[in-house]
Every structure is written in C-alpha cells, then in structure tokens.
Amino acid sequence: MARWQPDAPGRLAAAALDLFEEHGYENTTVIEIAERAGLTKSTFFRYFPDKREVLFGRGTLTDLLVEGIASAPPAAGPLDAVADALDALGRTFFTADRREFSGRRQAVLNANTELREREALKRTGLTASMIEALSRRGVPSLTARVAAELGALVWEIAYDQWIDPDNSEGFGPLARQALAEVRTAAAVR
Amino acid sequence: MARWQPDAPGRLAAAALDLFEEHGYENTTVIEIAERAGLTKSTFFRYFPDKREVLFGRGTLTDLLVEGIASAPPAAGPLDAVADALDALGRTFFTADRREFSGRRQAVLNANTELREREALKRTGLTASMIEALSRRGVPSLTARVAAELGALVWEIAYDQWIDPDNSEGFGPLARQALAEVRTAAAVR
DNA sequence: GCCAGTGATGGGACTTGGTCTCATGGACCG
DNA sequence: CGGTCCATGAGACCAAGTCCCATCACTGGC
C-alpha cells in the first residue's frame, strides 16, 4: 500500500474547486483546501506557487499550441496555422471529458477579479507564444501579432461556446467556425 | 497654513515610483512608501485598494476612450472611430509632459509579473469598454470585438513607441500610423 | 470664546497569503 | 538490519490587506 495517497496536486485542485464553488474564492483559505485534501499548507505551496495557480496549473497547453502552429503545412497562412493548432488542441486537450470540469472552473474564474487577472496574464502569455511560433514560420512581426490577437479572440469565442452546456459540438469545429466569422468581421472597415 | 500637506495620493504615487525604481517592486514595502510620503500604511490603503494600484490609479482613461469613440462621426467605420478616440487620447492624456513619467512607470511594470498581471487586466477592461462603446454605435457584436482587439493592439504599439526616448512624435500620429500598418497586416491571409 | 461636528490622518490588532528551515517517518536498497 | 530517500508536517516569520477607534486641527453656530 502506498505511503501517501496518490496525486497530491490533483487532490488539492479538486478540493479547491469544490470549496471555491461552495464558499467563493475569497472565503476559502489555503489551509481549508489543504485540509480537505488531507494535506497541509506546506504541501499546497510545494505544488502551487500561489493560491490562484491551483486553478491554472494543468497547462502544457501553451506547448501544445506552439507545437500545433509549428507543424502546420508550410504553405498555410498565419491564421490557418493558428486554426490548425486550435484544432489540435480540440483533439488532445479540450476533449469531451474535460468539458464539465472546464465549465465549473470558468464559473469560479468569472466570479472573482483576482482570478480573472491571472487569466488575463495567461492570455497575454499565450499570445506571446503564438507570436513567437508564427515568427519561426517566417511570418513578419506585425502580421504575426495581428494573427495572434485574432487567434486569441477565436479561442475565447470557441471556448465560451464549448463550455456552454446547451452546446454539444467539439472544440475544433467551434473554433473553425469562429475563425471564419472573425475573418469576415476583420474584413469590414 | 494647511493642516496637512496637500495631495496625499500624489505623494504616495511619486514615492512608490521612486522606491520601485530604487529597490524593485517586491523589495519595497507599503510602509516604506507611506513613510517616504510622510504618511502611514493606513492612509495608503485609504487611497489605493492595493499596493499595485498605486501605479494605475491615474485613469479616467477608459472614460476618455469611450467618449472619443462615441463622438466620432456617425459615418465612420469601427476602426476609424477607435482611431479618432486614440487621437483624442493623444491630445488630452498622453501629452508630452507625461512622457517621462510614463516611461519610468512602464519600466517598473515590465520588471514585475504581478504588475504585468494588473496591466493585462486593465487591458481587458479597456477592450470591454471599447466593445460596448462600439456596440452603442450600432456596430455588430463580433465586428466590435475584432475592432476592439485590433484597437488595443494599436494602442500597445503606439504606446511603446511613444515612450521610447529616441522618439519625439506625439501619441496621436503614432497611433494613426500603427493603425494603418495593422490594417494592412490584417488584410493578409 | 466655547463647544460640537467634521474629515484627514494615525495606531494597532488581526487574518491570510506566502517563504523558509528543520523535523519526521515510512519505504527501498544493500 | 541499517542507512538513505523523499514526500510530507510543523511552526516561525514577514508583508499585504481589513477594521475599528483615537486624534486633532479647523469650522460654524451660539
């Protein structure tokens, strides 16, 4: 028998999400989270650099996105490369079994400014990664920046729809459709 | 003679910027800031909701932007309305006398993640305001979202250039030029 | 001239997030 | 059987942020 229960960070994340739903982010103490997971404050901060990060940690997500952009066909334009990457994400990360969790998580995020702040930073980090990945494809700097911003917007739109319980479409198709719409909207002057 | 020295929040902000430059944001204590301003921790938190905000408070900036968008000629397209608003900002807010301060402030911001986090949140807030202002002009939702994102990008580019000591152009013209470039970049597929 | 009200500030107790250092104790290896 | 890992616990410590009440100079009415 294992000396300790397995997957301490996972238990902490689950406990945190539960408690944030029950009492709100601000009314939940790190000690309470740790206790519910059968651990202590010390262990919490060993796995997460701060209280917010317990809701964000899951992410090799940036790597997946960058990889997706890099492996798009060489002839593809910048936005198409981003589309391919989003598609890949839909296949490997935003899978149906994560939908419910993502929805709960997002509801908690939306309810708290501190958490939205962290989310905003993650978004800029993601955008920066996209810009870099596009640059490596030879896309000129400014074009890359524009494509990355539009890509982030597409992401947002698709993610919001994907989370919606009334919707059953996969993330990939939603992103494709959102991208098409953003494209036409960007053509309007 | 006045009972207290005037402009407590201004003194606090100035003291904070000095100290952040000298020792870094993280190595500066709220108590130290307050002391340098001849005040106390209590007074600091009376004027600023948290330590970060001492570098952001100056902003009725959102209002100016919204107003600028609203007062653009009715026939103007969404991006043109944003351009007008940025122009107005250049006239009323990003004036030459604020350039040095803005540069110092930005250097401090760039050096610290916590501060960039707040900056990212402010940016999303700004984008949201732009979207709303564009919606009130009758711009369709998605078009507004795209225009706002591109507007924010233009803002960023122009702001970076405006801060640069090697540059002496005003904010308005820089924004106009950045907008033109972003427009052509957005046309690339 | 006195006195009560006002408003900016000070003081200090208290909670929580976050850091750091050292102790513990079961499992694995020789 | 004994030593060595290594995940965890324990607790001191600091700074951010909240709260409540005290202070004290000025103001206006009487």
In angstroms, rounded to a whole number, what is the distance separating the alpha carbons of residues B38 and B18?
A: 14
Nucleotide nearest to B52 (CA to C1'): D16
In angstroms, rounded to a whole number, what is the distance separating the alpha carbons of residues B82 and A103?
A: 33
**Distance (Å) of CA A142 to CA A134, A138, B142, B144:** 11, 12, 22, 21
What percentage of chain A reaches a pLDDT higher than 90? 92
**Distance (Å) of CA A189 to CA A184, B78, B103:** 11, 7, 33
pLDDT in tens, A156-178: 999 999 999 999 999 999 999 99
In angstroms, rounded to a whole number, what is the distance separating the alpha carbons of residues B29 and B19?
A: 9
pLDDT in tens, A63-116: 999 999 999 999 999 999 999 999 999 999 999 999 999 999 999 999 999 999
In this structure, what token pair is assigned to residue A137?
A: 């494809």
Chain B: residue nearest A181 by CA? B142
Using the predicted structure, report yes or no on whether residue A1 has a pLDDT greater than 50. Answer: no
Does any strand C atom come closer than 7 Å to the Cβ of A173? Answer: no
Using the predicted structure, report yes or no on whether residue A154 has a pLDDT greater than 90. Answer: yes
Q: What pLDDT is attached to residue B1? A: 47
Show the DSSP H helices in chain A as ranges: 8-23, 30-36, 41-47, 61-70, 78-92, 99-110, 113-136, 141-163, 171-187
Structural domains for chain A: 8-54 (1.10.10.60), 58-187 (1.10.357.10)
Does any strand C atom come closer than 7 Å to the Cβ of B42? Answer: yes
Nucleotide nearest to A8 (CA to C1'): D7
CA of B12 to C1' of C14 (A): 25
CB-based contact B189 A182, cutoff 8 Å: no
DSSP A18-44: HHHHHH-STT--HHHHHHHTT--HHHH
Using the predicted structure, report yes or no on whether residue A188 has a pLDDT greater than 80. Answer: no
Q: What pLDDT is attached to residue A183? A: 94
Give the count of beta carbons closer than 10 Å to the beta carbon of residue A92: 13
Q: What pLDDT is attached to residue B87? A: 95
Residue range A122-138: mean pLDDT, rounded:
97
Mean pLDDT, chain A, integer:
94
In angstroms, rounded to a whole number, what is the distance separating the alpha carbons of residues A132 and A121?
A: 17
Residue range A46-74: mean pLDDT, rounded:
92
Using the predicted structure, report yes or no on whether residue A139 has a pLDDT greater than 90. Answer: yes
CB-based contact B149 A145, cutoff 8 Å: no
CA B173, B174, B178, B179 torsion-angle sign = negative
* Res. A153 pLDDT band, cuts 50 70 90: very high
* Res. A57 pLDDT band, cuts 50 70 90: confident
CA of B76 to C1' of C16 (A): 51
Q: What pLDDT is attached to residue B94? A: 94
**Please, which positions of strand D sit below 7 A from a protein CB?**
7-11, 15-20, 25-26
Residue range A131-146: mean pLDDT, rounded:
97
CB-based contact A124 B121, cutoff 8 Å: no
Q: What pLDDT is attached to residue A3? A: 61
Mean pLDDT by 10 residues, chain B (189 residues): 79 97 98 97 97 86 94 95 95 94 96 97 96 97 97 97 95 96 86
Q: Collect all residues of chain B within an 8 Å Cβ-Cβ radius of residue A145.
A: 153, 157, 185
